[in-house]
Structure 1
Amino acid sequence: MRHLFSKNYVRIYLWIGMIFTMIIIPFSMFLANQFSKYAYSQMDLFNRDTMLQTASRTEFLLNKLKAYGLHMYQDRTVQEWLQSAGRSPLDDMDALHALTNYMSTEPFIKRAYLVNVHKEQVIDSLKGLVSFEKFGDAAMLKKIREDRPLFLQFFYHETGGEPYLALIVPSTPARKDHRGYLVLLLDNRALQENLLGLNKEPGMDLMIVDGQGRNVLGTTGNDAAILNELRHLKPAGSETQVMTVRGMQLFVNSAPLASQKWTVYSLTELKAFKHQAQAFQAKIVGYSLLLLVLLLLAAFWNSRRMVKPFRRLADQLQRRIVQESRHSALALPVAGDEYSILKSGIELLSSRVDEMHQSLRGHSGLIKAEYLRQWLLQGRMNRTLREGIARESELLASDLIRLAVVKIDAYRDVAETYDFASRQLLKYAMGNIAGEIIAGEGGTLETIDLAGDHIVFLIGLDRDDAEVRKLLETIKGHIATYVRLRVTIAVSDLKHLEDDLRSVYDFVLELTLLKFISGEDKVYTEGDYESYVRLLQPLSDPKSLDKLLVAVKSGKKDQIVLLLEELFGQMAAVKYSECKVRLTVILFTIMKEFDKLRALQGVDGIDKQLDRFSTLQEARHWLEAELFAVMDQLSSRKGGDRKEKLAEEMINYVLYHIHDPMLSVEAIAEHVSLSAKYARSIFQEVRGVSLSNYILNTRIEKVKELLVTTSMSVADIGERSGFLTRSHYFTAFKKATGLTPNQYRLHHTEGEGGEAE
């Protein structure tokens, strides 16, 4: 034994073991205690947050149902029956039909009565027309006659052995008699699932208690002991309280419902929570002991091996250096020189680190493009975007920039000629051309590609309007020469960095349409907008034009001919100047509706085209032929291959615009020149999922990625992923994953930590 303790590795092992034991055991106990405190505080915060959310949802839903009840009561058919003194089977049938229609659109109303006091008749939504003597809910008739509640207040009511929340309309504090009343009986089960079922944790009971101490909604039921204890608690809205019922301790949180004078309570059994907390504490201690054992084994192994020479390490490192030297200029150390070998190994490691850093720098372009796209779609920069763009680009060196939109002419032909990747390369080349020209003038240009028929330039250049316009003309010419694409360019005036960039982008994009109207091949500026406005004069009957667009999309040639005759008939009796303005509006509207279709891409300009016609009928025949061509082209898109391409185009558009909270099925349909209904049908057929669900799923996947890979706040991640409201963000994410965003991040962060250990 003495010989064993005389060994260095044994003495080192014993010292390390004692140090580890003195550190890990107290620390594990401390960690378990801190977890219990944290868990209690988190449960308290969650319960209070749940109360506030439940109270808010309940207030909103009850107010909505009140408004709906007033709307039902004010219905003309309902009013006529309630106020009538005579008896008419037709009026009875109409009133019952109206009542049934209203109930079919509001799932929370389970039953409704129309009570005519003068005729002593009731229309029951379940049993039809009955007299007061045969009406099964005598308690309600008594309440209407003798004990009406306050104005628009729900109250607890039982009939047929089932509890309901009831509302009487009209109801006033004054004892004013009315000839007729509307009574709504709400579906307590549906209310309970929708108001009390969301965000409820296991072991938690939610209930809503009225002013008389009755449980009007909740899973606890009318437990007399619990309801009696709740009466002795502090008023709603105070901090978490603890009460004891039949030897059981309960955490109680409450929130008031001001409009109803009710209170929302959450009841969480402390025993179940303590059991879970103690179980987790035991796990912490157990894992800490296991870690201690593993550390002691590692310490024993290390203490035994540390006294051996480093020659084996040097030999292994030398073999590695020999392999690497075949592919690099690294010099080999002298054999046996361990210092030289270790030094060479460090140099090799440094070179590998440099290569890794260069690889990361190679992705800076993608990071910059992502930041710029988010800035454009959101309109304004938050702190994260500003720091990211400033780190990757010199665009923010000045407070003023210009926004230019470069729209590819005849984009449908380009899309059919090149696949998606090739179109991206063409746009990349256009951005490089513009960047070199602007950089030559001492400015900065950044390109944003939104995967559509145009790209966006953000230009930081201290030049006047005329010089910038001349540079853009040069860029346009270079694109035509080297990329062989005809483009239309529109540019904004100088804008401040704090301006809403999204509204500037929408406005400048609209300016590119001026080329179709005027036929001028130039760079359009905000000053050209006046000529655009002058053309947008309303038609005397705009509905005819809307019907014409629908007929084209529906493929109805006969209807197209009739509607054209109607439109041109309206213009036959007006002056030439007014007739020309109306024709301009018609052609411009059709062009905007079908601007990506080949049939209208050959028009050089509306004014120039109209000058070719000597009579109004010639213009009508020309337009009829063009619309037939548009209709045929729409019809030709129904093939399977075409549907696959359209679905792929929709997916690409979604991925490029997922940060945009205004992304919608209508916008996607417009991008591929289809109606929203047909776009949904194609996507569902090809991908087996609805387009709206695909957008939502993509946003949720984006949230998951950012939660795990970044340290951004949960709110910023929701905004970055395109969710318009925080409530929709949290509700959709929990429905999809079963966890809140914070819970998801904590779960996956802990999972990765465990794997790393």
Structure 2
Amino acid sequence: MLRLFKLRGSFLSRIIVATVAIFLFSIILISIINYSYNTKINDKHTSDTYQKLLSQTDYNIETLYERVFQIGEQLLNDSEIIRGLYSNELNPIDAMKVENRVDEVVSANPYINSVYLYNGETGRFIHTINKDVDIPAIDQQAVGLIDVRKKMNKMLFLPHQQSYIYDSKPYVSNILSLIFTYSGSRNGHAIFINLELKSIQDLFNKMGSTAYSNFIIVDKQGVNILNSNQPEQFMHDRSKQDFISKVIHSEAKSNHFIEQIDKKKFLITYVYNEKLEWYLINTTSYDYLSKDSFTFLRNIILISLVVLLFSIAATVLLINKIYLPFGKVVKMIKYSHPFGSSAEYADDVEYVSDVFKGLIHKVMSLEDSAVKDRNKLKEGFLRECLNQEGSMDEQGIAAHFQKLEIQLKTTNLRVLVLVMEGEHGVISNQRDTQLSLVKEAVYELALRTIADHGALEKIETGSHSMVLLMNDMEGMSDDAWLGFVHHVDKMMGIQLKIGVGEGAATMQELANSYETAREALDYVFLRDDQRIYFYDKIQAAIRKKFHYPFKLENSLLNHLKLNDSKAALENIDELFEEIEDCSIKDIHATLKQIGSNLDKVFNEIVDLSPIYTAHQMESLADVISSFVRVDMLKQFFKELVPFIIQELKGNRHRDCKEIIKQACDYIQQHYRKDDLSADSVATALHISIPYFSKLFNENMRVSFSTYVTNLRLAEAEDLLLHTSLRVKEIGEQIGFLNSTYFITVFKKKHGLSPNQFRQMKKAN
């Protein structure tokens, strides 16, 4: 027995020494591999992350560009604007009309800083900045940018700066201008639409600038347009950094590389915008990436040591439970003792039998566990392909398919996103256990009904949803799809909605099929009665070129102001018919913009708080965002119209004479100011402009403009007779900034010019 124990101890020692040696060797090997490759992996992962951010920001900037371009086209097609642009001399009324049209553009678009109309023959600007500011003085680059625009083959944002002092306050605005030159112009006629540089800076802030990273925009000549770490810097000379030169001269439209800047290593990631002809660049400190690598190495070493300790403990336990009984069996066989000659040996045999039974049970358990582990590995690998994680080529993917026993081919793939719903929407998360069984049953049913047309694989994506990957579906008809859905309804008692993405020729294109499948499901918002949403069919039905419904929006606002409920409701029907064949993104944006405009126009004269409270929101745009179906939104708008009209009528129950008295008092106090208008009076009285104009005409028997003109001319007569002020000074004092217009109006009433009137009265 002593010899056996010594033998056991020697065997155990050898096992422990071998285990320690293997683990130490593994730690060293893993450390070397990590040191060599983990930083490269971090580089790729970080670069992919920033490329996605840059591409999204690039898309947002391009969307902003398209929006401004549409506004420019709208202005070029506006007859009032073109008449104002090309007229060498405008009368005051026409000039006011043009200025109002330009002001409307700036008011409707908060990201627009200002608009200039420039007449190249006269050098005249019509603009939205304060009228006593001279554009050439505050924006010295404006005229020169017209020649820059003419030399370009593409319409681009041109950065420059406004700098001026108004009311003793300095104003400096960094702006991006989109300049439109009329096709028939040869003398520099142009329309400037100027954006706040802040609108681009905000996009950078959303990407999450940190102390370790910086976002830059440079044009293709290397001029630094915007720098997220130094937003005050604007329009540098050509940058001298080598990494920007390397970006500009690269052939790839998007890439990443390592560069040394100011004696520090940085990861440079960039994306090129062909339309705007500029680069979006991110620089990330290499020290920041290396820190993650060392943290990962430390964690590997700690985990390896813990595994080593567990392995040693497991080895000791196995030796005690298995080696000793087998040693007894070996001893019995060696000395040829009969099994039944001793009770001790009989007990040993029974114990060994129990050991073998336990081993068989463990082997079977390990086999089941291996199947589950392989399924988890298979699903994890497919999920990585779905989310474009990793950078494996086609051969590597095919090898993994064979290793993990994936039945799919690596070509002609398609993604299906399945969402399971109850009678009244998405199933509650309280039924997670039941849902897992339901999903397994749905998958099994899919294998029997869909898999005839190709192999099928499942990926879990949530408690009430999953993704199916399958090969070519050419042989599958719409009836087969509907048959599968109805089988699920009948057998499972749930409603199934399926988004079918566009085809993926290779595994690398699988992520795009997944995105399009999810995008197809977004059309539940528009068509809730469907069960299967094919991305290809949806895209074929979408109107490719979207136009914002300005006319319908203006018509709706006017009918609301005039209390015409029937016409306003007809506008709502026309609006939803107009946008029903647009993309979901455009429909959402359009309805939110209309809600914001309604909020802006009626918030001061209508109490909209009951609507906000009912939906627990703070604005109409937020309320609109909370609806999940377009029919619910349409019903909301149809309820909003009578609410606003009823509120407007309620505001008008005040005594008409009291309103007119307040209006006359306000006019008496402000008629000497040149900015007095019916709009400003109606706003001050908290009533709508059309109602104020109608009420004023009916009670005063004269129009608002005539009434104000008579007040000004009465004071002008008094000033002509009792002061020595010049005609221009009198006109400015009573609200006529244009002396020519003042003389014209005065002569129309009296038949004499102001000077003739003064001379005649003094002579009499």
Does the alignment reach a TM-score above 0.5?
no
TM-score normalised by L of structure 1: 0.42
TM-score normalised per structure 2: 0.42
Greater gyration radius: 2
